């Protein structure tokens, strides 16, 4: 019967490297600690690639199992979470390729012996980066639209239309200093608005029951 370590508090003072050494020595029940420590981070990273929650869980499970099978290859001086996320990224990218969402992408070319994904290829084909750019534009458009008209107009003229301060002052029939004040206030309001939107972490939350579910699935699979 596998002992349950339902939180890192059940193993006070246990370093990651010590946990891994003990797992490799036969105490595979300790793998639950690593799973629970990394569930939130792994979910959010995969969420950048895939949107279906069940598919994300499937990728998480497969990644944990692959990491467990190859744990003897893990170099203890590195971070387990980084190594795990690289495995998950490759798994997610393979699925995207199978769906035709990544064209002419050789996933094997993206994996180095030590460093994981090649930076240039990763940036070019990273769906998370594309999603962030797309959603960033949408959020910015919404935030600009919520500005009062005097600030919205000034901001659009300067930042989007690239008009000079003098041109804006002339068009709006206000002083140059007034244009600068409006721009400053518009930027402050946009920064605050976008910051609040960016803090909505519930969109990527992987809390209690979900964490228990994926942990149980992984631990059953390695018994």
Q: Domain total for the chain?
A: 2
Asked if 72 and 138 sit in the same domain, the reply is: no
- The residue behind tokens 């989007």 is 160
Pairing state of beta strands 111-112 and 116-117? antiparallel
Residues 6+ apart with CB under 8 A from 1: none
Provide the whole-model pTM.
Answer: 0.56
Asked if 112 and 215 sit in the same domain, the reply is: yes
State how far the Cα of 206 lies from the Cα of 41, in Å rounded to an integer.
Answer: 9
Residue 203, pLDDT > 60, answer no
Asked if 133 and 76 sit in the same domain, the reply is: no
Mean per-residue pLDDT, 188-206? 68
Higher pLDDT, 170 or 9: 170
Mean pLDDT of the chain: 77
Residue 52 lies in a domain: yes
């Amino acid at each position: 019967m596998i002992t349950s370590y339902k939180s890192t508090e059940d193993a006070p003072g246990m370093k990651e490297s010590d946990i891994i050494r003990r797992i490799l020595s036969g105490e595979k029940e300790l793998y639950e600690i690593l799973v629970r420590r990394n569930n939130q981070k792994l979910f959010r990273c995969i969420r950048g690639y895939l949107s279906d929650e069940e598919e994300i869980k499937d990728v998480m499970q497969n990644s944990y199992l692959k990491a467990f099978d190859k744990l003897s290859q893990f170099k203890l001086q590195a971070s387990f979470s980084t190594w795990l996320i690289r495995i998950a990224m490759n798994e997610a990218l393979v699925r995207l390729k199978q769906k035709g969402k990544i064209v002419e992408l050789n996933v094997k070319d993206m994996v180095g012996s030590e460093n994981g994904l090649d930076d240039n290829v990763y940036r070019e084909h990273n769906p998370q980066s594309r999603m962030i750019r797309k959603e960033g534009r949408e959020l910015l458009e919404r935030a600009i639209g919520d500005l009062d008209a005097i600030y919205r107009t000034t901001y659009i003229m300067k930042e989007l239309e690239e008009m000079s301060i003098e041109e804006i002052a002339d068009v709006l029939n206000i002083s140059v200093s007034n244009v600068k004040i409006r721009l400053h206030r518009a930027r402050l309001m946009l920064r605050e608005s976008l910051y609040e939107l960016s803090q909505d972490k519930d969109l990527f939350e992987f809390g209690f029951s979900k964490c228990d579910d994926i942990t149980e699935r992984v631990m059953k699979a390695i018994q």
